[in-house]
Chain A
Amino acid sequence: MTMQSTVEIEAMPEQPQWARELRESARARFDKIGYPSTADERWRFTNVDAITRIEWAADGPTSDDINLDPFQIPDLDAALAVFIDGQLRADLSDLSGLGEGVVCEPLIEALSRTGVADRLGAQSATLTDGFTALNDASFGSGLYIEVQEGFAAHRPIHVLSLATSGDTPIAAHPRNLIVAGKNARVQVIEHYNAVSDEIVNLNNAVTEVFADEDAFVEHYLLERESERGYNISTLFIRQGARSVVHSHTVLLGGAIVRNNVVPTLAGEKAHCLINGLYVAHNEQHLDNQMRVRHAAPNCESRQYYKGIMNDKSRGVFTGRIIVDKAGQGTDAIQTNRNMLLSDDARVNARPQLEIYADDVKCTHGATTGRVDDEAVFYFRSRGLSEEVARAMLIYAFAAEGFDRMQLAPVRRLLAAEMIAKLPRAEGLSIEV
């Protein structure tokens, strides 16, 4: 992928000077660091050569005739923004019904709004990462979501990115900025999907979340790309005092997927939940990298990530808790549990702590194993077939994460999706 094919800064629509500078400095940053290599410790287990070898286009022919029904979340009453191959389709979107005090519009149209200049790139530019720099340089599609002080969005916002272009491999750089003012409340679902499993595409997405004092933000990443597609998603979160942010990630699709979650707890008594599940089969490669920074006193963070790997797939988990000197009274927990379903599957786990304050409680745990034979035996002794017993146990392993999600329709959809992906679980029906 060359910069020319994805970034035409000059060709961007009218934009303020600061946005131009942000792009240009990001471009310089990218020119300097380039794509990550496995020599970079953070990318040690994920080789992106397969992505960089492809000749990506910024856009291509898209079809007008798209049936969105299979990509809706059943029973979910949500505002909907639809991006087809990286381009916003207002005709397919419905951003109404969010209520007073809520702004939800294309990011590119929001650049002159108050506060946007200070926030856009404020978190992403601090990370030395090629893909993030590329997004900083190329941002165009994506939403600006702002909930003003004291307001709550009446409906969740479903941001659906659909890949449809079968002939031209398209690289998109979705960029969202979510701002929750004091005491504000919002739920956002970032959803990546493809119309067929033959599509080769790249979504290199960056979302920055700013949660002011006492705000509540729930963010979902549903990654259901084509199994020939690629997804690099980076979620930055900056939390004010007493704010609560929940991040849920479910990785199901994609050939190579990288999911970065980078929260900074910058205000006292903030709480951050990072909940994730990655389910891989065939030769999928799903990589998760968390970097939770406690920069203020008495904050809490909870990381719960689970992986299920089948066939020749590979799962990667890197979680780092960083506690600054200012982070006295930190209470941080991180767990990563993995289940291998085949002898060719592989998992790399790196649960890490980096602690500079003494009055802290930080723990992490990582386990890897397979379905417990004794539990299977228990089920079989009660008349269940081995297949169903295994499927149920695998499902139960994963289900704990679903319970932390507030939106029941999302939970139900994911449970069904996951079951569909499990081996020999056709006969299994589970009420969620």
Chain B
Amino acid sequence: MTTTEEVARISDERREYKFGFVTDIEQDFAPPGLDESTVRFISSKKNEPAWLLEWRLKAFRKWQAMTEPEWVFLPYGYPPIDYQAISYYAAPKAGPKSLDEVDPKLLETYEKLGIPLSETKTLLGIEGAAESPADARRPVAVDAVFDSVSVKTTFQKELAEAGVIFCPISEAVRDHPELVQKYLGSVVPYSDNYFATLNSAVFSDGSFVYVPKGVKCPMELSTYFRINARNTGQFERTLIIAEEGADVSYLEGCTAPMRDENQLHAAVVELVAMKDATIKYSTIQNWYPGDENGKGGIYNFVTKRGICKGDRARISWTQVETGSAITWKYPSVILQGDDSKGEFYSVALTNLRQQADTGTKMIHIGKNTTSTVVSKGISAGQGQNTYRGLIQMNKGAKNAHNYTQCDSILIGDQCGAHTFPYVDIRNQTATAEHEASTTKIAEDQLFYCTARGISEEDAVSLLVNGFCKEVFSELPMEFAVEANKLLAVSLEGSVG
């Protein structure tokens, strides 16, 4: 548990949103606006092969014919996005190679964010991690993405020894074109939805992971996304492939400066798990949430989808969503292989005037496929929190099973908690269970804590942590500690 003192300390250190600073660094920009020349500009900046440019242009033409979807449930709405006012490419001028060559300002930025780009340090400088001897110096490989480009990927050598490819996707396009060409767009087609199609046209960078047959990735992989430049959008693309019997755990973190205008983040993540492979994907999303009047903040409109292609494959999504003005995403799993397994664990917190419409889709195609969905929504301040999910069992999904649990708590009477699950069952052997509840923090529990001398704020933090425990226990240890703190800080000021 994070105590009030700790929270107060953390918040004092970085008043309100602690990652809200701007790095003053010389950057290359694409001029604002979006047309075919923008797409060509990005592609040429990255020296991309012709097939990729063609793919981008196909997506761009498709996108022009599409309209922004309107079904999302956002009680406060949002002003229309001017896609011509956004710059689709921003990169630090000096292209770094080794750590010594990385712009010190960038190093400083990531240092401030708690992300070590030096391989001698462990991730995030979390006290808990360093103190526990078993996990001391457990390395985590980091790919740091700054606006539109990846600035540094650590531990590439060690990973290469194990046969694991972990690099910026632009590098993968250059060095492993056959893999990228085979899998890019195979899970989220370029025409999938408005924001995914936009991403397909203008995606800048992101991470690429390839774990070969039978390899258990020797360390946690992680990407840290940072939006820095003003008036830019971030459109990263992540592609993870786990071959037969492979095993990989991947973490993703995000922050952005505090600004009065909204910035768009439209990413696409694709996961491919072959026979007996396991992919665990964890996200801690802490984009700038805007202020209490709903001014500023990131629009986090992301498409994340994985496919269990082979039998007994397993994909697990864990997300802790505390940031962004608007979060709109549904990490999904297509359960194609027989006996494959999909999981979704989520904590979504909306405070201030944040809005979230998030959940998952589990599409059962193979026999004996199972899926588990655990979603915890916390609404405080004027936050509006929506769970939306789809459980679909196709005709061939014999004996498929789903269990869904979504619980919400409300703190204060200005917020809202909403649950919109969809269940679509098309064969009689499939079973689906869905449970949901919405309550406020139990007064008897609160009373029990306060009667024992715990302050009300600490008690709320404690109870909320307990409420989220099922999800946090799915996170890798370092992230669980971070998630706990983040939650406490995000909740600050919501009591009394």
Binding site for B on A (CB under 8 A): 41, 325, 328, 338, 340-370
Contacts and interface: CB of A to CB of B under 8 A. Distances in A.
A363 B408 CA distance: 10
B379 to A, nearest CB: 8
Contacts of B415: 356, 358
Contacts of A367: 431-434
B428 A343 contact: yes
B185 to A, nearest CB: 27
A355 B421 contact: no
A372 B411 CA distance: 41
Given A348-B423, A350-B421, A362 B437 contact: yes
Contact of A341 (B420, B428, B440): B428
Contacts of A364: 419, 434-437
B432 A368 contact: yes
A352 B424 contact: no
Contacts of A338: 425
Contacts of A352: 418-421
Interface in B433-455: 433-440
Given A353-B417, A360-B440, A348 B422 contact: yes
Contacts of A348: 422-425
A359 B415 CA distance: 11
A365 B434 contact: yes
Nearest to A358: B410
A288 B438 CA distance: 23
B367 to A, nearest CB: 13
A366 B423 contact: yes
A162 to B, nearest CB: 35
A354 B418 contact: yes
A20 to B, nearest CB: 36
Contacts of B412: 358
Contacts of A350: 420-423
A348 B432 CA distance: 11
B481 to A, nearest CB: 29
Nearest to A353: B419
Given A354-B416, A366-B432, A369-B432, 14 more contacts: A325-B413, A340-B428, A343-B429, A346-B424, A347-B424, A352-B420, A353-B408, A353-B436, A354-B418, A356-B416, A363-B437, A367-B433, A369-B430, A370-B431
Given A340-B427, A343-B395, A362 B438 contact: yes
30 contacts: A41-B71, A328-B413, A338-B425, A340-B427, A340-B428, A340-B430, A345-B428, A347-B424, A347-B425, A348-B425, A349-B425, A350-B422, A351-B436, A353-B408, A355-B416, A357-B410, A357-B413, A358-B411, A358-B412, A358-B413, A360-B440, A361-B437, A362-B437, A363-B435, A363-B438, A364-B419, A364-B435, A366-B421, A368-B432, A370-B429
A350 B424 CA distance: 9
B146 to A, nearest CB: 39
A360 B431 contact: no
Contacts of A356: 415-416
A343 B394 CA distance: 10
B45 interface: no
B157 interface: no
B423 A347 contact: yes
B410 A353 contact: no
A376 to B, nearest CB: 13
Contacts of B419: 351-353, 364
B361 to A, nearest CB: 14
A265 B433 CA distance: 29
Contacts of A358: 410-413, 415, 440
Contact of B438 (A41, A345, A355): A355
A368 B421 contact: no
A369 to B, nearest CB: 4
Contacts of A325: 413
Nearest to B434: A366
A355 B417 contact: yes
Contact of A349 (B423, B426, B431): B423
B418 A355 contact: yes
B31 to A, nearest CB: 37
B57 to A, nearest CB: 30
Contacts of B424: 346-348
Nearest to B73: A354
Contact of A368 (B413, B430, B437): B430
B371 to A, nearest CB: 14
Nearest to A45: B424
A361 B439 contact: yes
B348 to A, nearest CB: 15
Q: Which of B410, B412, B428, B440 has the most CB of A within 10 A?
A: B428
A183 B424 CA distance: 43
A354 B418 CA distance: 4
B368 to A, nearest CB: 15
B190 to A, nearest CB: 24
Contacts of A365: 433-436
B436 A343 contact: no
For the complex of A and B, the 4 pairs showing the least CB-CB separation, nearest first, are A358-B410, A340-B428, A349-B423, A353-B419
B421 A351 contact: yes
Contacts of B410: 355, 357-358, 360
Interface string B381-425: 000000000000001000000000000101111011111111111
Contacts of B428: 340-343, 345, 370
A46 to B, nearest CB: 14
Contacts of A343: 395, 427-429
B438 A360 contact: yes
B408 A355 contact: yes
Nearest to A366: B434
A284 to B, nearest CB: 16
Nearest to A348: B424
Contacts of B422: 348-350
Nearest to B435: A365
Nearest to A345: B428
A365 B71 CA distance: 23
A359 B442 CA distance: 10
A370 B438 CA distance: 28
Contacts of B431: 367-370
A261 to B, nearest CB: 18
A279 to B, nearest CB: 15
A197 B274 CA distance: 52
Contacts of B435: 363-365
A325 B384 CA distance: 13
A344 B429 CA distance: 11
A164 to B, nearest CB: 37
B494 to A, nearest CB: 11
Contacts of A353: 408, 417-419, 436, 438
Contacts of B427: 340, 343
Contacts of B71: 41
A286 to B, nearest CB: 15
A399 to B, nearest CB: 20
Contacts of B395: 343-344
B349 to A, nearest CB: 15
Contact of A359 (B423, B425, B437, B440): B440
